Each structure stands twice: as C-alpha cells, then as structure tokens.
Structure 1
Amino acid sequence: MTQYWYNVRTHQVEEDAMSDWTQLIGPYPTREEAEQALEKVKERNKSWDPNDTDGDGWADHD
C-alpha cells in the first residue's frame, strides 16, 4: 500500500518517504491528507499549548 508523507523542507508530498525522515511528517493514507499535514500539526498544537498566544498553532517561546 502506498503511503504519503509531507516534506517540511520542500513543502511537497512524497510517496513512500523518499527524503530523510527528519524532514517528513506522516505517513498518511492519502495524498490529500498529507497535503493538510501542517494544518493538522497547527490544530494539535493549539489544543495543548498555552503559549500559543496568537492562535497560529506555533508557540512564541523566548
């Protein structure tokens, strides 16, 4: 079965993890889900990080 990964460096979806694993988020069962990887990460971050003061899904740590 094909798996899809989102590459955080290139911002591209890859089939079957072609890049270094440190640059990938996944696996996802479909290309469409992999394309939404960063949005899912931001949503998860917002739900648990009290330091996310601007609501963008990324905490503003000093």
Structure 2
Amino acid sequence: MADDPSEQFWYNLKTGGVERGFLSPSSDRVGPFDTADEASHALELLRENSRKWAEEEQADE
C-alpha cells in the first residue's frame, strides 16, 4: 500500500470511474484503495460493509 493517498486509487461516485490521486473533490470520491481493481469494486465493498454493520447493530440490540 502506498503511504501517500495522493498516489492511491479512488472511486469517483459521480462518474463511476477510477482515479489515481486527488483528481476530484473529496465529496465525489471514496477510498483510498491499493489498486485500481479494488477501486473499481468500491460500490460492492461499500454495500458489503453496510450489510455487516447493520447485522452488528441488530446483534447489539
């Protein structure tokens, strides 16, 4: 993993594209990711994390 986020990969929520570095405003991107491939699957990863968090919250109730 690159230590410098400006050299890592990001998923642009508006365009659906993968970017390297800070090309878009922070409100339009998620990441950072180690590889372009990981960034290209950002929405799947976000959905999976949301599902896990929801399950954890239900278990805590």
Amino acid at match of 1:4: F
Q: Residue 28 in 1 paired to residue 37 in 2?
A: no
Deviation at 1:17, TM superposition (A): 1.9
RMSD: 1.3
- Flag as ranges the 4+ runs of structure 1 deviating above 6 A: none
- The unaligned stretches of length 5 or more in structure 2 are 56-61
Identity %: 36
Give the CA deviation at 1:48.
Answer: 1.7
Query: Structure 1 or 2: larger helix share?
Result: 2
Q: Which has the higher contact order (CA 8 A, sep 6+)?
A: 2
Query: What are the ranges of 5 or more consecutive residues in structure 1 without an aligned counterpart?
Result: 51-62
Q: Does 1:39 align with 2:44?
A: yes
TM-score (norm 2): 0.74
